Amino acid sequence: MIHPTAKIHPSVIIDGDVEIGAGTYVAPGAIISAVGGKITIGAKAVILENAIIRSSKDFDCIIGNHTLIGPKASVTGAIIENACFIATGATIFHGSHLQAGTVLAVNGIIHIGTYCPANTFIPINHIGFGNPVKIYAPTEIQEFHADLKKIGFAKYVYGIDTTGLSNTEVYTQLTEKYLSFLG
Residues 123 and 105: their CA atoms lie apart, in Å, by: 5
- Look over the chain and give the mean of its residue pLDDT values, rounded to a whole number: 95
pLDDT score, position 72: 98
pLDDT of residue 177: 83
Look at residue 32 in the predicted model and tell me its pLDDT.
Answer: 98
Closest residue by Cα to residue 116 from 136, 94, 140, 132: 132
How many angstroms separate the CA atoms of 83 and 103, rounded? 9
Taking only the tens place, the pLDDT of each residue in 112-162 is 999 999 999 999 999 999 999 999 999 999 999 999 999 999 899 988 898
pTM for this prediction:
0.94
Rounded to whole angstroms, the Cα distance separating 94 from 37 reads 12
Contact of 174 with 156, CB cutoff 8 Å: no
Rounded mean pLDDT, 44-58 = 96
Would you call 167 helix, strand, or coil by DSSP? helix
Q: For the chain, which domains are there?
A: 7-151 (2.160.10.10), 153-183 (no CATH)
pLDDT computed for residue 178 by the predictor: 81
Summarize pLDDT for 96-121 with one digit per residue, the tens: 999 999 999 999 999 999 999 999 99
Residue 90: closest CA among 65, 109, 112: 109
Q: What is the pLDDT of residue 179?
A: 85
- In DSSP notation, 111-142 reads -TT-EE-TT-EE-TT-EEETTTTEEE-GGGHH
What is the model's pLDDT at position 181? Answer: 72
pLDDT of residue 183: 65
